[in-house]
Structure 1
Amino acid sequence: MGVSTVAGGARLKKPSWKDPRLLVGILLVLASAAGVISLVGAADQTTEAYAAREPIAVGETLTADKLNRVKVRLGDVEQLYLTPETGLAEGLVAVQRIGKDQLVPRDSTGRIDLLDRKQVAVTVDEALPAQAVAGSSVDVWVALPDTRNGFSQPALLLPGAEIAQITPGSTALGSARSTVVMVLVSDSQMPGLLGAQANKAKISVVWNPGGTSR
């Protein structure tokens, strides 16, 4: 009975501040709290980045007046976007379309001499598909004039061409208003399109929901 009482008393004895187990426990709690505070602080950090005020077309020069400075949390991907801290290089142009309010990825910008696609105006007489808007992809078909004052069977010339811009064209007397579609054309595709235009081919565009060339 006496032994049991002594053992129980030993178990109920208050720990001393000098007890190494208590000190280790306190240090672990402090380290855990510091880690949580550090994670919360890192998650709450914001940085300034550039966002497009209006859509920016391929080949368009990037200047400060076309961009807004916005505060965003980019974390580890900050280096992938243009920021006021890094600044805008002179002569920088869009090599990919940048939508309104979209952050500006670094890989969507470059030098004008590195552009692999150029805008070419294509006049279309018939109504465009509702889905044919700037940034979407269309197939461009051409029908060359034949010897009977008509046109030959249409052939696919530009599969999956990206639209850079659409503007109303001129109105001929007694005819419907035409539409000018600015499409992005690679250097290898350029001769075929310019040749078709020089030969007064009838040009049509068809929405390409896949958005890729075939």
Structure 2
Amino acid sequence: MSLATSTQAAAPRLKKPSWKDPRLLVGILLVLASTAGVVALVGSADQTTEVFAVDEAIPLGTPVTAEDFAVVPVRLGDVEESYLPAADGIPDKAVATGLLRKGELVSRSDLGTADELDRKPVGLRVDDPLPSGTQAGSRVDVWSSMPDEQSGFKEPRQILSGAEISELTIDESVLGATRATEILVLVEDDDLSALLSARSNGAKIAVVLNPAAGS
């Protein structure tokens, strides 16, 4: 045999992959698994849940039904269980357990029954202008001055600390000469006696904004 012949050994031919080749099957499975994972990820990221949202501010203790809320689709992720699905509706005899602000989503803890409330709304008339920025949800200290035959009113004393305003209405006269504000403050049972006594005995009521109380 010549040298040329000996160096031209036949090169091995590449075989066409067979469907029975385990490497090919493993590769196909990996591609399919990767594709399925991407589809699942995109699908979960785009998943929304319809929940209730507050149309207009609702004070504590107000009875509510589904008609009082809007239904909006949102992505809640891990906190989905904390909110009330619109598909479940509003429980019978439900009331707001706190001030529900316009635009907020309704969580499960925002609704309860009347006998679960630990604070009660009490109406007060305030003749002096309220501090700038006071609104529903603001925290205020309430002061009262009892009537005094000699000097008009006694020295003011604080009867509530950090009370939450649940509703606020400004009442102006026709000519605009007088202006008073009607507020509902949320009061615990232990504080009701002092507040109701001041109100029923003609005390002058004043409120002082206390933003630190709500922090």
TM over 0.5: yes
Question: Are 1:139 and 2:141 matched, yes or no?
Answer: yes
Distance of aligned partners of 1:175 and 1:199 in 2 relative to their CA distance in 1, 3 Å threshold? farther
Q: Aligned partner of 1:177: which letter? A: R
Could you tell me how far 1:98 is from its partner in structure 2? 1.1
Contact 1:161 1:183 in 2 (8 A): yes
Residue 135 of structure 1 aligns to which amino acid in structure 2? G
Q: Give 3-state SS (helix, strand or coil) of 2:135's partner.
A: coil
- For 2:160, the equivalent position in structure 1 comes to 158
Stretches of structure 1 that go unaligned for 5 or more consecutive residues are: none
Please report the RMSD computed on the Cα atoms of aligned residues, expressed in angstroms.
Answer: 2.8
Residues 1:183 and 2:182 are matched in the alignment: no
SS at match of 1:42: helix
Share of identical aligned residues, percent?
Answer: 49
CA separation in 2, counterparts of 1:62 and 1:170?
A: 30
Q: Residue 175 of structure 1: CA displacement?
A: 6.7
Residue 35 of structure 1 and its aligned partner are, at CA, apart by: 0.9
Q: TM-score, normalised by structure 1?
A: 0.85
Deviant stretches of 4+, over 6 Å: none
The aligned amino acid for 2:198 is: A
Query: Structure 2, unaligned stretches of length 5 or more?
Result: 1-7
Check conservation: 2:172, 2:178, Cα contact below 8 A: no
- Over residues 63-107 of structure 1, what are the superposed CA-to-partner deviations in whole Å (9 max), with x where a residue is unaligned? 122111111122332222222211112210000111112111110
What's the offset of the Cα at 1:14? 6.2
For residue 149 of structure 1, report the CA deviation from its aligned partner. Answer: 2.6
| Compared CA separation, residues 151 and 80, structure 1 to 2 (3 A) | same
User: Which of 1 and 2 has greater Rg?
Assistant: 2
Picking from 90, 113, 116, the partner of 1:114 is 116
Match of 1:34? 36
Q: Deviations over 1:169-188 (max 9, x none)?
A: 475x9973221111111111
Of 185, 201, 204, which residue of structure 1 is paired with 2:203? Answer: 201
TM-score, with structure 2 as normaliser: 0.84
| Shift of residue 191, structure 1, vs aligned partner | 0.6
What is the match of residue 50 of structure 1? 52
